[in-house]
């Protein structure tokens, strides 16, 4: 049973437009959520995170929204740039599960010039 799901395997957007990547989770014990970005032949790179006490966290072009009642989070990238093309993973962890990040399957984002 997959506790963190990214239902869209791929997303294509035009440069300058908004990219919205979605993630759903099932475990209500998760209280910290992270987004990672991965280029080919590299390890994932931490992008942005959000604690369950917040519903929004913003860092430059990247904003993560958390809807706890819907067990849903999303990553918004505005404006999208070709260099944002990568695989994006969401991950979740509960404070009682020390270090145990649960990852989604990833969404491949392609930003077209």
Partner 1 sequence: ETGVTQTPRHLVMGMTNKKSLKCEQHLGHNAMYWYKQSAKKPLELMFVYSLEERVENNSVPSRFSPECPNSSHLFLHLHTLQPEDSALYLCASSQDAYNEQFFGPGTRLTVL
Residue from 88, 104, 109, 111 touching partner 1 (CB under 8 A): that is 104
Contact 50, 57 (CB under 8 A): yes
With binding defined as CB under 8 A, does residue 24 bind partner 1? no
With binding defined as CB under 8 A, does residue 17 bind partner 1? no
3-state secondary structure of 2: coil
With binding defined as CB under 8 A, does residue 1 bind partner 1? no
With binding defined as CB under 8 A, does residue 54 bind partner 1? no
Phi, psi of 43 (to 5 degrees): -80, 165
- For residue 101, give every residue at least 6 positions away whose Cβ sits within 8 Å of its Cβ, in sequence order, or none: 34, 91, 92, 93
Binding residues vs partner 1 (CB under 8 A): 2, 4, 32, 34, 36, 41-46, 49, 89, 91, 93, 95, 98-106
């Amino acid at each position: 049973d997959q506790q963190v799901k990214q239902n869209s395997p791929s997303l294509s957007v035009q440069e300058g437009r908004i990219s919205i990547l979605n993630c759903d989770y099932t475990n209500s014990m998760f209280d910290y959520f992270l987004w990672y970005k991965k280029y080919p032949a590299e390890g994932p790179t931490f992008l942005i995170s959000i604690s369950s006490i917040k519903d929004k966290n913003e860092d430059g072009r990247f904003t993560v929204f958390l809807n706890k009642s819907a067990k849903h989070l999303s990553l918004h990238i505005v404006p999208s740039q070709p260099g944002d093309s990568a695989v994006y993973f969401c991950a979740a962890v509960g404070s009682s599960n020390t270090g145990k990040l649960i990852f989604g399957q990833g969404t491949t984002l392609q930003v077209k010039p």
